[in-house]
Amino acid sequence: MQHVFVTGAAGFIGSSLVDRLLADGATVTGWDNLSTGQLRFLEGAQRHPRFRLVRGDNLDQPALTAAMKGADFVFHLAANADIRDGWKHPERDLQQNTIATFHVLEAMRANGVKRIAFSSTGSVYGEALVTPDKPTPENDVFPIQTSLYGASKTAGEGLLAAYAEGAQIDEAYIFRFVSILGERYTHGHVFDFYQQLVAHPDHLRVLGNGTQRKSYLYVQDCLDAMLHVTRAGTARTAKHHTQIYNLGTPEFVQVNDSIRFICGALGLQPRLEYTGGDRGWIGDNPFIFLDTKKIQATGWKPKLTIEQGIVRTLRWLEANRWVYEARH
C-alpha cells in the first residue's frame, strides 16, 4: 500500500484515515466534493508533501478516473449517510452510494487498481431475523431492508463482490460498521444531544423511548481494524477474493445510557422528553449489535469502551463548537 486513493477524504473517518496513512509513510490522494466534508479536518495533511487533495464528485466519472491515476489501493468512504431523512430525497442514496461505488470500481478498472476497502454499514442487516437479540454475524441471512441507505450499501457490496469474482479486482474488503464516534464527529446522537443541551441545558428531546439498544466504535479503533486486515492481505487468498468484516465493540448500550454518560460528563440533569415508540425514525433499527469474532480472530480488538468513546466525542465537540456552524 504505497499510493492510496481515499474518497470522502475530508469527512470524519476519511480525514482521520488520511492522517494515519501519511504517518505510516503512504502517499495519499484525497477525493471529496466537500458537500459535508470539512477542509479544516485536512489542515495537517495539506502541509504534508505526500498528500494531494482533489475536489471532485464520484458522479463525475472522467474526473474521478483521472484523479485516481497512480494509486495502488482505494479506500472508498464517501457516501450519503442521512438515514433519517432518506425519504425526503430517495434518489440521493442511489446516486451517492450505489452509482458512486460503480464509478469508483470503473475508475479502478481503467487505472489497473486491484485492491479496495469499502465502508459499508451494519444497517445492511435491517432488523436481523436469524439472531434476534444476539450479535449479528457476517453470515446472517439478510432480511428485508429497512432503509434506503442500507439498501444502497447492500447494492455496493454486491458490486464489489461481482468485480472480484469477475477478476477485475484482486482484493475486496467490506467493512460493516456500527456507528463511529470520536474526534471530527459531525453527525449522530452525541452531536444532536450536545447541540440541544448547549441551547437549553434543562431540557432534552429524545427520539423514540430511549430503550433503543445500539453499539458504537471509536474512530481510531475502526481505523486500526481496517488497516490491520488490509495490510495483512486477508482477501488475497479468500474465496472469491472478498472479505467481509463486522466492526464494532463487543457491547451495546441503550440510548438512555448514552444520555446518562453525556449528562454526567456535562454535570447536567435535564428533563427528558421522549417522542415515543421503539425507534426514532423510519429506518431506525431498535437493536444494533454486531458479532465481531471474525475481526477479533485476526488479532484486533477495540481499545475504548462505548462510554469512553462517547465522552471523548463529547469533549471534542465542546472544544470544536465551530462544527455546528459548518454543518449549516
Residue 107 sits in the same domain as residue 239: yes
The number of distinct structural domains making up the chain is 2
Residue 170 sits in the same domain as residue 203: no
Confidence of residue 328 (pLDDT cuts 50, 70, 90): low
Is residue 241 in some structural domain?
Answer: yes
Residue 28 sits in the same domain as residue 171: yes
Assign residue 301 a region (left: φ > 0; alpha: ψ between -120 and 50; beta: otherwise). Answer: beta
Residue 107 sits in the same domain as residue 256: no
Residue 55 sits in the same domain as residue 134: yes
Is residue 112 exposed (0-12), middle (13-18) or buried (19+ Cβ within 10 Å)? Answer: exposed
Full-model pTM:
0.95
Is pLDDT larger for residue 146 or for residue 296? 296
Is residue 201 in some structural domain?
Answer: yes
Residue 174 sits in the same domain as residue 309: no
Residue 261 maps to which CATH number? Answer: 3.90.25.10
Q: Would you list the DSSP string of 92-155?
A: HHIIIIIIHHHHHHHHHHHHT--EEEEEEEGGGG-S-SSSTTSPBPTTPPP-----HHHHHHHH
Is 324 a residue whose pLDDT tops 60? yes
Is residue 297 in some structural domain?
Answer: no
Taking only the tens place, the pLDDT of each residue in 1-46 is: 799 999 999 999 999 999 999 999 999 999 999 999 999 999 999 9
Residue 66 maps to which CATH number? Answer: 3.40.50.720
Please state, for a pLDDT cut of 90, what percent of the chain lies above it: 83
Residue 73 sits in the same domain as residue 112: yes
Sequence letter at residue 60: D
Residues forming beta bridges with residue 145, ordered by sequence position = none
Residue 78 sits in the same domain as residue 150: yes
* Predicted local distance difference test score (pLDDT) of residue 126: 85
Residue 113 sits in the same domain as residue 145: yes
Taking only the tens place, the pLDDT of each residue in 118-177 is: 999 998 998 876 666 788 999 888 778 888 999 999 999 999 999 999 999 999 999 999
Residue 165 sits in the same domain as residue 56: yes
Confidence of residue 283 (pLDDT cuts 50, 70, 90): confident
* Predicted local distance difference test score (pLDDT) of residue 286: 85
Domain range spanning residue 203?
Answer: 181-214+250-288+304-326
Please state, for a pLDDT cut of 70, what percent of the chain lies above it: 98
